[in-house]
Amino acid sequence: MSLLTPASEVIQRHLEHFTDRHVILAGDIQDELAATLDAASVRVLTNQYHRWQSLHALIGENVQFSATAPADFVRPCNTLIYFWPKNKQEACFQLDDLCTYLAAGSQIFVVGENRSGVKSAESIMEGISTLQKIDSARRCGLYYGELEQPTTFDIARWWRRYEEENVQIHALPGVFSHNEIDMGSNLLLSTFNGPISGNVLDVACGNGVLAAVIGKNNADVTLTLSDVSASAIASSIATLEANQLKGKVIASDVYSDIDDKFDWIISNPPFHDGLNTSYSAVENMILQAPKYLKKGGHFRIVANAFLPYPDMLDKAFGGHVMLAKTGKFKVYEAIKR
C-alpha cells in the first residue's frame, strides 16, 4: 500500500467511528486508505482517473470515476468522508452533489490540510450540516456533523461559460481556467499564427480551450483531448459541442490510454498534484512524447518560466526552441526527427 497522506493519517485516529458504517470516500483522494478501511462497506467516488486506476485494482467496482455522484452508488451509504480539495468552488460543487443523495442523519466527516482552507467547510455546510472540529493533527483539521438538510443538486447552476476568440468555453468548478482563459494558455495560442493540419492531441486539456480555438481556426485538424479529471472531460465535451466541433475526449493519465500517433501534441500541463508540487506527470509527458508523435511531429507546451523543462525536452528530442515568453511564462517546441 502507498504511503498515506496527512489527512488520511488523521482519519486513522478515528477508525472506531466507521466499523459498522456504510462509508463513501470522496473529494481530493490522494492515497489508498479506502482499501484498508474497516467498515460495513466502503465505496469511493473519485474525479481523478489515476486514482480510479489504482483503487480499481484493489476494490473493483466499489470505486467509481465520475464528475458527479451517481445516485444509486451514493444512496446505500450513511457516512461520508470528504477530503477537502484546494479549490473551494470544487468543494462546494461536490458537497452539494453528494448531500443530495445521502439521507438525513448521515454522518459527515470533512478532513483536509489547514493550508487548503478546510476551515471554510463550517460556513459552506451551514444549513446542511452543523460541522464541528473534532481533531487537529498533522497540520490538518477534521470536522464532523450529521446531515440535517439534504441538498437539491442541479448541475446547471454550476456551469461557467465565457468566450475566447469567438469560441464558447464551458467549465465546471475545479477545472483550470474555470472563469476565464489563463495567461499561459493565451500565450500558447498566440504562437499558432498560421494554419496547421493533421492530428492534434491536447494533453491535460482542462476545459478544452486550446483544442477548441485551434479546431475553430483550422478546419483540417482532427482533435483528441485527454485529462485525468472527470470534470475536465465533461467540460471539454461541452466546449466542443457548444462550438459544433468534432473530437475525441478521453480519460488518460498522460499517455496511459493513448494509442495513436499525432502530428501535434500540445499542453498547458499542471505541475501540482493536489496541494503539492509534482513534476512527474509533465516529465512523463515530455520524455514519452516522441513515441506518440509522427516523424516531423510537433510537441508544444507552455510553462512557468522557472520550471526545469528545457533539459527534459533536450533529453527527449535532442533539442528545442523557445517560441514566446513573458515575465512569467515560456512556450517551448520540440520536433520529432
Helix (H) or strand (E) run with residue 276 in it: strand 276-277
Alpha helices by DSSP H, listed for 13-64, are 49-59
The confidence score (pLDDT) of residue 280 equals 81
DSSP 274: T
Query: What letter would DSSP give residue 293?
Result: E
Q: What is the pLDDT of residue 308?
A: 84
The DSSP string of 125-145 is TTTTB--EEEEEETTEEEEEE
The residue type of 3 is L
CB 317 within 8 A of CB 305: no
- Burial (0-12, 13-18, 19+ Cβ within 10 Å), 80: buried
CATH of domain 6-154: 3.40.50.150
User: In 10 A of CB 15, how many CB atoms?
Assistant: 12
Domain boundaries along the sequence of the chain: 6-154, 159-336
The answer for residues whose C-beta is within 8 angstroms of residue 124's C-beta and 6 or more apart is: 88, 91, 92, 95
3-state class of 110 per DSSP?
A: strand
Fold equal for 6-154 and 159-336: yes
The cell for 245 is: 466541433
Superfamily (CATH) of domain 159-336 = Vaccinia Virus protein VP39 (3.40.50.150)
Rounded Cα distance between 252 and 65, Å, is 12
What is the C-alpha to C-alpha distance for residues 25 and 30, in angstroms, rounded to an integer?
11
pLDDT number for residue 9: 97
Q: What is the pLDDT along the chain (337 residues), one digit of tens a residue?
A: 458 999 999 999 999 999 999 999 999 999 999 999 999 999 999 999 999 999 999 999 999 999 999 999 999 999 999 999 999 999 999 999 999 999 999 999 999 999 999 999 999 999 999 999 999 999 999 999 999 999 999 999 999 999 988 999 999 999 988 888 999 999 999 999 999 999 999 999 999 999 999 999 999 999 999 999 999 999 999 999 999 999 999 999 999 999 999 999 999 998 645 545 556 889 999 999 999 999 999 999 999 988 889 999 999 999 999 999 999 999 999 999 9
Per-residue pLDDT at 2: 52
Which element (helix H / strand E) includes 230? helix 230-242
Helix (H) or strand (E) holding 249: strand 247-251
Task: Specify burial of residue 291 (Cβ count, 10 A radius: 0-12, 13-18, 19+).
Answer: exposed
